[in-house]
Structure 1
Amino acid sequence: MTNLLVLAAVVVASLAAAYSAARILRSAPPDLDTMPFLSGKTAVEHAVSRYHVRWYAITMIFLAFDMEMVFMFPWAVVVADIGVMAVVEMFGFLAVLMVGVLYAWQEGALRWV
């Protein structure tokens, strides 16, 4: 129990030291009105303005590919133990994802214009 308290005290002291050093060493507080966003370009609209609806489709496609990676990494670890059935199931999963991508492509979700 005392080791846990010592660890917590070290963590709190380290965080306080880091924040204090950052506050002392920075040149000036950031001005949020003139701070750049959009990869350093000058802002032409407010940072919390509405997004065009086409970005939601791109986001859904990104999430589909992200979920693919979440399932493929553990699968790659155990595929040798499970055997052929694991390969068949992964190709089925990839086929379902491919159908979704082809549908998005057909609907024009991947066009930038």
Structure 2
Amino acid sequence: MGPEVGKGRGMMSAFAVILVVTAIAISFQALVIIRARWSDPFGSVAPQRVPILGGLEPATHAWSRFHIRYYPMTLVFVAFEMEMMFMYPWAVVFIEEGVTALVEMGMFLTILGVGIVYAYKERVFSWQ
């Protein structure tokens, strides 16, 4: 008969590993908190708690609006990011699939290219 699954030393050692990793994580977190309080013994004042500008007062409100010219450039950036996100797995699958994967990627790049041509005609790439 084979060894019984879930009983004996094997299961206990798995729990021991989880307990050790949890103890290390908790002690590291406690160490970071203690170090942060130790490095600032007097406590910080309100302007030093501002998360930006190195403690200086912000010049604008956090909810201020951005100019509309940033949005088309952002969409083009997302299009290029999506291209790269699909190109890496495709490179792995290409060896197995062959011509079918090549045609599918060609269609994807054609659609992406049409979007880039449209963005060029809309003068997204010209900065004013």
Taking structure 1 as the reference length, what is the TM-score of the superposition?
0.78
After the TM superposition, which of the residue ranges 78-87 and 93-102 deviates more from structure 2? Answer: 78-87
Taking structure 2 as the reference length, what is the TM-score of the superposition?
0.70
The answer to whether residue 103 in structure 2 is matched with residue 88 in structure 1 is yes
Cα RMSD of the aligned pairs, angstroms, is: 2.5
* 1:49 alignment partner AA: S
For residue 7 of structure 1, the aligned residue among 10, 21, 39 is: 21
Report how far residue 109 of structure 1 moved: 1.6
* 2:31 alignment partner AA: A
The answer to whether residue 53 in structure 2 is matched with residue 36 in structure 1 is yes
How many pairs were matched up?
A: 108
Equivalent position SS for 1:49: coil
What are structure 1's unaligned runs of at least 5 residues?
38-42
The answer to whether residue 113 in structure 2 is matched with residue 98 in structure 1 is yes
Aligned to 2:89: 74
Distance 1:23 1:77, change over 3 A: farther
For residue 51 of structure 1, the aligned residue among 63, 66, 70 is: 66
The answer to whether residue 39 in structure 2 is matched with residue 21 in structure 1 is no
Distance 1:86 1:7, change over 3 A: same
Report how far residue 23 of structure 1 moved: 3.9
Q: What does the per-residue CA deviation read over 1:71-104, in whole Å, with 9 as the maximum and x for residues that have no partner? A: 1000111211111121121111011001001101
* 1:46 alignment partner AA: H
Higher CA-based Rg = 2
Aligned to 1:111: 126
Distance 1:61 1:26, change over 3 A: farther
What are structure 2's unaligned runs of at least 5 residues?
1-14
Quote the sequence identity (%).
39
